[in-house]
A and B are shown apart, each in its own frame.
Chain A
Amino acid sequence: MSEKNKDSQWPLWEVFVQSEQGGPHIHAGSVHAPDPEMALQNARDVYSRRNEAISLWVVPSVSITATMPSDQGPFFDPASDKIYRHPQFYHVPKGLK
């Protein structure tokens, strides 16, 4: 790990930024860092130089499992056969709000 890895670019971390209280953490990009602590510091320097963040998450990129574009059809079955999940499906007496 020592000599050979001297010029390693280090593992990749995905950065999630919460920009306002009560809001969600949104993916901002990625950073390279040797450990979680430096990943957070790098993420702050790269993605929050102008108070864009009040909270940061860093996650090793290899730990993320994601869907594939080919999943779009069957995996996210749009539930067009489950129209009863939508409020429009139901009849209520006219004039009632």
Chain B
Amino acid sequence: MIIVFLKVINNKDRFFINNKIEKQIIGILLDVDWFKLLYYIYLEIIVGDKMEDEKKLSEFQRRINSGEVIEPKDWMPERYRKQLIRMMGQHAHSEYVGMLPEANWITRAPSLRRKLILLAKVQDEAGHGLYLYSATETLGVDRKDLLEQLLEGKAKYSSIFNYPTLSWADMGVIGWLVDGAAIVNQTVLAKSSYGPYSRAMVRICKEENFHKKQGYEIVATLAKGTPEQKKMVQDSVNRFWWPALMMFGPHDKESPNSAELMRWKVKLKSNDELRQRFVDLTVPQARAVGLTLPDPELKYNKERRSWDFGEINWDEFYNVIKGNGPMNKERIKARKEAHENGAWVREAAEAYAAKHKINRKI
């Protein structure tokens, strides 16, 4: 009897017993009081919970479909929460690591004006990282744990920051292409279904426009400068164009998380759609300053009213993601050092806070 009962409760994926013989056995067994009790407890706990979850899930999907915004305390499938933590964490790390390639040029900015602008931009990136860590924490994770994952190399960040910044022109091209690509991506994420994420995105988008414009100004200035300056900025465009296109991620059919994220309206446009939009926006901007984009297949398609472009070197893309990009190790090393070198500041702040607390009590 116990064996039959165990068989029944082990079969958790089935709500009701369909097998005729099993039904008969259960019918007989239900006359036995203790079995009846166990059986009803089973129905109540296991089947009941499962039906409750299915109900919650379909209600959740209904809310998403009707455009409702999900807030931290609302019920959400565990998988939605996990996917958001992964995606928002990666996004936060990207802002954070994104400070490094640009900080590299602060001391060598060609004028005080450019230096002030670059300082403000790098400070913004730190701020963006903090908005995003704060938003991710609403899902029940600690910033500390997220940072640990980054420093241990367990969490990813945008592959673009694993390329080196070799010349001053890179500061312009990063603002124009990298922040430009980020804007295309983030404008859509600002309508994402998770409230704290979308609110952080709205704030970030407002500030990114300054980043893109200052970058484009540097590019335009160099493009109409001396032949050396023009050569320098063209070289920078040649190096950053393809990595910028890679920022949108793999093709839709290769992207493991896309379908689920779109069903939950975390993402509203696919990787390929966004990449196309970025290309269409950027080609005229390159032409306006007399720069060429390093893609021989770039051609206007009258039927699609869009620019056709060549295939990304996906081997390079996956190689950089795996940690073999030119700067992967350097970036993590710099982050670790910054964290360790800041230890005394954190200790001092804590000591001050403790002293303050005692004084307040008196």
Contacts and interface: CB of A to CB of B under 8 A. Distances in A.
Q: From A6, A29, A38, A49, name the one whose CB has the most chain B CB atoms within 10 angstroms.
A: A29
Given A9-B143, A29-B134, A49-B123, A35 B356 contact: yes
A2 B350 CA distance: 9
B354 A6 contact: no
Contact of B144 (A7, A34, A38): A7
Interface residues of A, number: 24
A46 B343 contact: no
A45 B134 CA distance: 14
B68 to A, nearest CB: 11
A35 B196 CA distance: 25
A12 B134 CA distance: 9
Contacts of A9: 142-144
A25 B278 CA distance: 37
Interface string A43-71: 00110011000000000000000101100
Count chain A CB atoms within 10 A of each CB in B120, B123, B350, B352 and give the residue with the most: B350
B126 to A, nearest CB: 8
A23 B124 CA distance: 26
A66 B354 CA distance: 29
B343 A7 contact: yes
Contact of A34 (B127, B131, B143, B349): B349
Interface in A10-47: 10, 12, 29-32, 34-35, 37-38, 45-46
B353 A68 contact: no
Contacts of B200: 29
B130 A46 contact: yes
Contacts, number: 59
A45 B127 contact: yes
Interface residues of B, number: 30
Contacts of B196: 29
A34 B350 contact: yes
Nearest to A35: B353
B207 to A, nearest CB: 8
B352 to A, nearest CB: 7
Contact of B346 (A1, A7, A30, A31): A7
Interface stretch (B37-45, B69-77, B158-166, B280-288): B69-77
B33 interface: no
Nearest to A27: B199
Interface in B124-159: 124, 127, 130-131, 134-135, 137, 142-144
B131 A46 contact: yes
A75 to B, nearest CB: 13
Nearest to A38: B349
B310 to A, nearest CB: 39
B361 interface: no
B79 interface: no
Q: Which 3 A/B pairs are nearest by Cβ-Cβ distance?
A: A34-B353, A35-B353, A9-B144
21 contacts: A2-B347, A5-B350, A7-B144, A7-B343, A8-B144, A8-B346, A9-B142, A9-B143, A9-B144, A10-B350, A29-B196, A29-B200, A31-B130, A35-B349, A35-B353, A38-B353, A49-B120, A49-B123, A49-B127, A69-B71, A69-B75
Interface of A: 1-2, 5-10, 12, 29-32, 34-35, 37-38, 45-46, 49-50, 66, 68-69
